[in-house]
């Protein structure tokens, strides 16, 4: 890549889409290699993991390298199997394929160009005009309408086999189970013709997918894109700052990668915000002035992101969780607020077992000299009521697993918001900071007494 003089900060640290300067192949390219192998062998490729761990970025990067274009279905609970396939067929735009390929520098053979030029008439011939109830005299628009009137997976087969499309299914878990079974059976036809499919979803639902249809075994490859490791997140920081000619402190890079909670998009956003707060929209790599920042600058960037990107989503939901099952009424022990606050403590984690919950609550109360200690029964009752509380308000941020005695924060961005929605202008100790948090509504609720 030819080095240039000036860079726009939002193009180097990209908060959405496929990064040009800061793309990192995790763990030596393990996920990319697995996905390439699956696609080349016509497999059903499962890409699973928590939100914002780079699932879409992974397949977009691989498809670009393979000179392919995603044909995406965003699943909905209302879909039956016909609506599912119609969703994909409606997105086939023959007049846009050549343009997209030119934009992405994808080479097309003369034969493929001829098929694209013929458009839906080519699809009709490939499928057999008689089978579609066509006479052969219909216009392209009439053929398209006929195909969409009775959509089927069969109509997609020639498109996916001959054109540079790869079918991508987002949020497959939204489909009703009986519809999943029908569609998974149809996918066997794709595999028999070595036509790959990419399925993107959560880790937990990938297991359900294979259970529903045992015939999928041996026909799938699985890329479980878990939370990123700190070293991979640091590689994003290094690539970006090296591109901009910024000398950075390794301790700061460790700090940013830790607080990114395994999300590459958050690492990108933190670095972008750091530079934006310094007034940089575009950076001249040949500049005379050095760019530097300290830990307070980083803390301010965290706060700004929590406030601007996540406050509108989580502020009210956090208030509901803190107030508990008796929303709007005083709590005797403030147990719900404590259950939320324990995730603000270090070390950062999105999962705590029952012993760790007790230890963290005890630390908060002891360090801040708070007298009214919730008994174990109060903590247990509150944990068991979390699901009911969230159902009442149609939210899902915390999950208590009664069998394994584990408390999870489901959404990583909520964990970041929880840690940084209040500003830390000074280098407070962790427990001074926690006392500020607890006292935010303790006086109003009347739940804490200090010595």
Q: Per the domain annotation, does 257 fall within a domain? A: no
Q: Which domain holds residue 431?
A: 313-445
Note whether residue 119 is domain-resident: yes
Position 140 in a domain? yes
Are 49 and 174 members of one domain? yes
pLDDT value at 1 more than 60 = no
Candidates 411, 385, 413, 415; CA nearest to 400 is 385
The reply to whether 2 falls in a domain is no
337 occurs within a structural domain: yes
Helix, strand or coil, per DSSP, at residue 289:
coil
The rounded mean pLDDT for the chain is 87
Total length of the chain? 451
**Is 399:411 a contact under the CB 8 Å cutoff?**
no
pLDDT of residue 70: 94
The pLDDT tens digits of the residues spanning 392-413 come to 999 989 999 999 999 999 889 9
In a domain, 249, yes or no: no
Same domain, 343 and 215: no
Domain count, the chain: 2
Per-residue confidence band for 12, with pLDDT thresholds at 50, 70 and 90: very high
Domain boundary among 186, 209, 224: 224
**Please, is 42 exposed, middle or buried when counting C-beta atoms within 10 Å of its C-beta (0-12, 13-18, 19+)?**
middle
Q: Kindly state whether residues 182 and 327 are assigned to the same domain.
A: no
pTM to 2 decimal places: 0.76
Task: Give the residue from 269, 193, 377 showing the smallest Cα distance to 16.
Answer: 269
Q: How far apart, in whole angstroms, are the C-alpha atoms of residue 341 and residue 202?
A: 26
Q: Are residues 68 and 187 in the same domain?
A: yes
- Do 320 and 427 lie in one domain? The reply is yes
Cβ–Cβ under 8 Å, residues 157 and 189: yes
Residues 6+ away with beta carbon under 8 Å from 391: none
Share of the chain above pLDDT 90, in %: 58
Tell whether omega for the bond before 347 is within 30 degrees of 0, i.e. cis: yes
- pLDDT per residue over 112-152, tens digit each? 888 888 889 898 888 887 677 888 788 889 989 988 999 99
Please tell me whether residues 206 and 317 are part of one structural domain.
no
In a domain, 7, yes or no: no
| Residue 216, domain member (yes or no) | yes
Query: How many CB atoms lie under 10 A from the CB of residue 151?
Result: 19
Query: Tens digit of pLDDT for each residue in 150-195?
Result: 999 999 999 999 999 999 999 887 888 889 888 888 888 898 899 9
CA 445 vs. chain centroid, Å, equals 36
Phi/psi at 69 (5° precision): -120, 135
Distance CA 383, CA 340 (A): 11
| CB-based contacts of 37, cutoff 8 Å, min separation 6 | 43, 221
Q: Is the pLDDT of residue 440 over 60?
A: no
């Amino acid at each position: 890549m030819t080095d240039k003089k000036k860079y726009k900060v939002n193009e180097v640290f990209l908060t959405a889409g496929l990064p040009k300067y800061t793309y990192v192949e995790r763990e030596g390219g393990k996920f990319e290699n697995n996905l390439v192998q699956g696609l080349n062998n016509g497999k059903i490729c499962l890409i699973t993991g928590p939100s914002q761990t780079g699932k879409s970025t992974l397949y977009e990067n691989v498809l670009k390298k393979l000179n392919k274009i995603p044909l995406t279905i965003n699943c909905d609970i209302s879909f039956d199997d016909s609506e599912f396939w119609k969703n994909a067929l409606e997105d086939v735009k023959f007049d846009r394929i050549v343009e997209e390929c030119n934009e992405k520098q994808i080479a097309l053979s003369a034969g493929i160009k001829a098929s694209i030029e013929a458009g839906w008439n080519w699809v009709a011939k490939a499928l057999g005009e008689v089978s579609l109830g066509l006479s052969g005299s219909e216009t392209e628009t009439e053929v398209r309408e006929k195909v969409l009137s009775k959509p089927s997976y069969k109509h997609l087969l020639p498109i996916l086999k001959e054109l540079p499309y790869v079918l991508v299914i987002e949020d497959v878990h939204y489909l009703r189970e009986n519809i999943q079974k029908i569609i998974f059976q149809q996918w066997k036809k794709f595999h028999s013709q070595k036509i790959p499919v990419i399925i993107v979803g959560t880790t937990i639902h990938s297991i359900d997918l294979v259970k529903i249809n045992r015939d999928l075994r041996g026909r799938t490859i699985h890329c479980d894109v878990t939370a990123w490791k700190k070293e991979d997140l640091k590689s994003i920081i290094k690539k970006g700052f090296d591109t901009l000619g910024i000398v950075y402190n390794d301790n700061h890079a460790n700090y940013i990668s830790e607080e990114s909670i395994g999300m590459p998009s958050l690492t990108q956003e933190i670095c972008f915000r750091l530079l934006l707060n310094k007034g940089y929209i575009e950076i001249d790599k040949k500049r005379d002035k050095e760019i530097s920042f300290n830990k307070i600058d980083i803390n301010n960037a965290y706060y700004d992101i929590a406030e601007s990107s996540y406050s509108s989503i989580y502020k009210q939901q956090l208030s509901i969780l803190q107030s508990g099952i008796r929303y709007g009424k005083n709590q005797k022990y403030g147990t719900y607020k404590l259950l939320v606050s324990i995730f603000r403590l270090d070390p950062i984690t999105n999962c705590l077992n029952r012993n760790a919950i007790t230890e963290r609550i005890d630390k908060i109360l002891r360090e801040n000299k708070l007298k009214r200690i919730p008994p174990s029964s109060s903590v247990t009752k509150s944990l068991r009521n979390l699901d009911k509380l969230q159902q009442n308000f149609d939210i899902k941020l915390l999950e208590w697993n009664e069998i394994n005695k584990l408390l999870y924060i489901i959404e990583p961005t909520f964990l970041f918001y929880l840690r940084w929605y209040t500003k830390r202008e000074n280098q407070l100790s962790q427990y001074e900071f926690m006392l500020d948090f607890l006292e935010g509504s303790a006086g109003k609720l009347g739940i804490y007494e200090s010595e």
